[in-house]
Amino acid sequence: MILQNLQLLQQSPAIFALVIGIGVIGLVVGFTIHEFCHALAAHGEGDSTAHQMGRLTFNPLKHIDLFGFILILVIGFGWAKPVQVDPYNLRHGRLGMSWVAVVGPLSNIVLAFLLGLLFRFELLNTRPGFSNTEDILAFAVSLIIFYNLVLGIFNLIPLPPLDGSKVLGGLLPRSLYGPYLRFERHGWLILIGLVMANFLLSRVAGVNILGSVITPPLRFLFGLAAGPDLARFFF
């Protein structure tokens, strides 16, 4: 986030600080909602592990991993504290694990759509900016919508350890589940390699692999949530 906005820092340090501050709020809200919903879904499925670890709470300090949060602020990729789930306690087994996994990203998308109603009902300006308090508030809400949609979409990518991999694992035929588990143990290396390659390519050659994957559904969902006028302004 910080590296992506360095040009803004040169133009206006005050606006840069405002954008980063709003981004921090959006990410804290997004991570907290995301992990809380994982914990709530697991508890509803019969696994009390997360509840016993104090994760069934809206307290962001219980969900934020400091190092992962610093990384996402600096380079745009990081993580929260993963919610621990014992799959053997889940009432619906692998399908229960898929449900626990998918509600995290869905919670971010639902939150984005709820906030988008403020623009849909014209309670906020669809041309946000920094000229007055109303415009700044509109920009802040639109940025929180943006980051929550990014969190939701990115986590649905079916690569370990992202939620999408657990969703896919729970839906696979039993004959494929064993081989998939073996892949899942090492699949995170693919994700780390992809993120590192994406970071280098975007800096050296201006090629954003992850951006090309995430941006189309992001633009589509942003337009659905907050309306086409705000989407055109934002993208």
pLDDT digits (tens, 9 = 90+) for 17-69: 888 888 899 999 999 999 999 999 999 999 999 999 999 999 999 999 998 88
Q: Is 45 a catalytic residue?
A: no
C-alpha dihedral over 140, 78, 156, 171, to 10 degrees?
-150
* pLDDT score for 152: 96
Q: Determine how many CB atoms are found less than 10 A away from the CB of residue 66.
A: 10
**Dihedral sign, CA of 123, 128, 134, 140?**
positive
Find the catalytic residue in 35, 122, 134, 184: 35
Provide CB contacts within 8 A for 72, sequence distance 6+: 1, 27, 78, 79
Q: pLDDT tens, 135-177?
A: 899 999 999 999 999 999 999 998 888 999 999 988 888 888 7
Name the domain count of the chain. Answer: 1
Q: What is the pTM of this model?
A: 0.92
- The whole domain housing 168 covers 3-234
Query: What is the band of 193 on the pLDDT scale with cuts at 50, 70, 90?
Result: confident
